[in-house]
Amino acid sequence: MKEPLIYELSVTGREGVKPPALDVPESDLPQELLRDDLPLPEVSEVDVIRHFHHLSHKNFSVDSVMYPLGSCTMKYNPKVNEVAARLPGFTGIHPMQDEETVQGALYIMHTLQEDIKAIGGFAGVTLQPAAGAHGELTGVLIMRKYHLDRGDTKRDTILIPDSAHGTNPASSSMSGLHVVQLPSDARGNVDLDELRKVANDRVVGLMLTNPNTLGLFDEHVEEIAEIVHGCGGLLYGDGANMNALMGIMRPGDLGIDVMHFNLHKTFSTPHGGGGPGSGPVGVAEHLVDFLPGPIVTIDPALSEEELPYYTLKMPAKSIGRVKSFWGHFGVIVRAYTYIHMLGTAGLRRAAEHAVLNANYMLSRLRDVYPLPYDRICKHEFVLEGHLPDAPDVHALDIAKRLIDYGVHPPTNYFPLIVHEALMIEPTETESKQAMDYYCDVLLKIAEEAKTDPQLLHDAPHETPVRRLDEVKAARKPHLRYEH
Ligand SMILES: *Cc1c(COP(=O)(O)O)cnc(C)c1O
């Protein structure tokens, strides 16, 4: 027997709400706005509440289950961040207010700029970009303007390793540059010989995701910086996932000239539903003048003795604005709260636990699932979701079967350089028990793959809808209720 849906509970004339008595003059609605063909269910208030409550429970979220989506850093977001972001002093201000009336908000932004500089080892930061990919576009525009400003007009190429995040080539092409892909070597590092072949005076820079999407820290990052700088290019660091590094090492010290951060990953803002995010960009001294503006600065002329005065300034050779107003302020408040709740030592501990957790899971799974790059990982690792003794079972079958055990599948089929990739990132917030459950399930599924592959081909079994066409489900969702 199936529980009736809200459409089936409808009874003509049943009412859910009683609108208040009319206290304005009555007037007729324009006829063209009225329709007779809108059969909304006529139900009571409790039926509506139950309908939406049930729907909300059909979602996976990091508040309900482990969600080890590689490269996404689905860490738990402490609720105190939400409390801070909802303080009336923050929600009640308007970006067009005079700056002297919003000194508190500017203080938060300025402090976060300083925090990001300290974490990354950079000389300047913009908080404007709305997400990681937007930060990349901003960074690439900064690099391009740096070269043009020096009168170096022939550079039109960006070098991107094949282990980079997919947004890197996308944002480079959006800025009109040619993308040259670099292969990885057998240990998952950038192939230095291939890099030397293409490092020339056409190169704007190289975009390095480090740790890369295999979860591996490039063992030659300083040599990469040397080669790229040697041909006059700049080194871009994709810092979306700072979870393995924060408090341990500063990318600026490795020779990275420009880098974006994802506040909605590393610095704990809920994400996954498409936003809002925030992708601040940090730069070394020689790029500070090109940052998009305005940037929050302290105006010493207006500062009273103990109290700095915060003001918004456009950098001298700025690439211009990349976002209306001052960026996604609510996300900025959440990141500020997260960073200051943890403090310097806490950030480092979080990074250490993220790395420890990933290596713990890797050590439990590596004897069963093939591991193409056999190294200690950083915050995530990539296995093959294709087992030697179950050739018909694929990564997708394993991912779908995980749903039946009540956990979220890892990223699959990415990065592309691993056959049938399963990319697992537990994050620092998972307990040993939660990770053990996830590993136990993956090991059990590996057994099922051998003994009952059909069970996996047909998974998920326990969900309201079964296996979907993932592209169509996203692009052409079927939202109609039908009998
Ligand atoms: C998530 C991610 C991005 C893109 O960030 P968005 O905020 O989704 O645009 C870029 N690089 C890496 C390594 C990422 O993990």
Among 75, 262, 322, say which to mutate for ligand 1: greatest number of ligand atoms within 8 Å of CB.
262
Amino acid at 203: V
Q: Is residue 459 part of a domain?
A: yes
Question: Mind listing the pLDDT tens digit for each residue in 164-195?
Answer: 998 999 999 898 999 999 999 999 999 999 99
Residue 480 clears pLDDT 90, i.e. is over it: no
Whose CA is closest to atom 6 on ligand 1?
A: 132
Strand partners, 394: none
Q: Looking at the structure, do residues 404 and 319 belong to the same domain, yes or no?
A: no
Residues lining ligand 1, Cβ inside 6 A: 71, 131-133, 165, 167, 209, 238, 240-241, 262, 277, 279
Q: Looking at the structure, do residues 31 and 151 belong to the same domain, yes or no?
A: no
Query: What's this model's pTM, rounded to 2 decimal places?
Result: 0.91
235 CA distance to ligand 1 middle (Å): 18
Domain end marker among 339, 359, 376: 339
Q: Is residue 64 part of a domain?
A: no
Res 477: pLDDT: 87
SS3 content of the chain, % helix, strand, coil (to 5): 40, 10, 50
d(CA 107, CA 209): 31
Question: Mind listing the pLDDT tens digit for each residue in 190-207?
Answer: 999 999 999 999 999 999
Q: Looking at the structure, do residues 328 and 431 belong to the same domain, yes or no?
A: no
Q: Looking at the structure, do residues 21 and 129 belong to the same domain, yes or no?
A: no
Q: Looking at the structure, do residues 275 and 126 belong to the same domain, yes or no?
A: yes
Q: Is residue 310 part of a domain?
A: yes
Q: Residue 384: give its domain's CATH number.
A: 3.90.1150.10
* Mean pLDDT value of segment 243-256: 97
* Mean pLDDT value of segment 456-477: 90
Q: Is residue 250 part of a domain?
A: yes
d(CA 403, CA 341): 33
Res 473: pLDDT: 86
CA 467 to chain centre: 25
Count structural domains, the chain.
Answer: 3
Res 275: pLDDT: 67
Q: Looking at the structure, do residues 204 and 331 belong to the same domain, yes or no?
A: yes
Question: Mind listing the pLDDT tens digit for each residue in 413-450?
Answer: 999 999 999 999 999 999 999 999 999 999 999 999 99
267 CA distance to ligand 1 middle (Å): 13
133 CA distance to ligand 1 middle (Å): 6
Percent of the chain with pLDDT over 70: 99
Q: Looking at the structure, do residues 141 and 271 belong to the same domain, yes or no?
A: yes
Q: Is residue 428 part of a domain?
A: yes
Q: Is residue 62 part of a domain?
A: no
Residue 338 or residue 8, greater confidence: 338
Q: Looking at the structure, do residues 282 and 395 belong to the same domain, yes or no?
A: no
* Closest ligand 1 atom, residue 262 Cα: 7
Tell me the pLDDT band of 2, cut-offs 50, 70 and 90. Answer: confident
Amino acid at 51: H
Res 483: pLDDT: 55
Q: Is residue 283 part of a domain?
A: yes
d(CA 476, CA 27): 40
Q: Are 214 and 382 in contact (CB under 8 A)?
A: yes
Q: Looking at the structure, do residues 306 and 410 belong to the same domain, yes or no?
A: no
Q: Looking at the structure, do residues 299 and 410 belong to the same domain, yes or no?
A: no
Which residues constitute the domain of residue 412? 349-473
Three-state SS at 335: helix
Domain end marker among 276, 308, 339: 339
- Give 444-447 contacts, CB < 8 A, sequence gap 24+: 444/405, 445/398, 445/401, 445/402, 445/405, 446/368, 446/369, 446/387, 446/390
Strand partners, 236: 207, 258
* Mean pLDDT value of segment 292-310: 90
Res 274: pLDDT: 66
- What is the helix (H) or strand (E) element at residue 145, kind and residue range? helix 132-149
238 CA distance to ligand 1 middle (Å): 8
Q: Residue 306: give its domain's CATH number.
A: 3.40.640.10
Q: Looking at the structure, do residues 360 and 325 belong to the same domain, yes or no?
A: no
Q: Is residue 59 part of a domain?
A: no
Whose CA is closest to atom 15 on ligand 1?
A: 71
Q: Looking at the structure, do residues 135 and 263 belong to the same domain, yes or no?
A: yes
Q: Are 227 and 196 in contact (CB under 8 A)?
A: yes
Question: Mind listing the pLDDT tens digit for each residue in 412-423?
Answer: 999 999 999 999
Domain end marker among 339, 368, 397: 339
Q: How many residues does the chain have?
A: 483
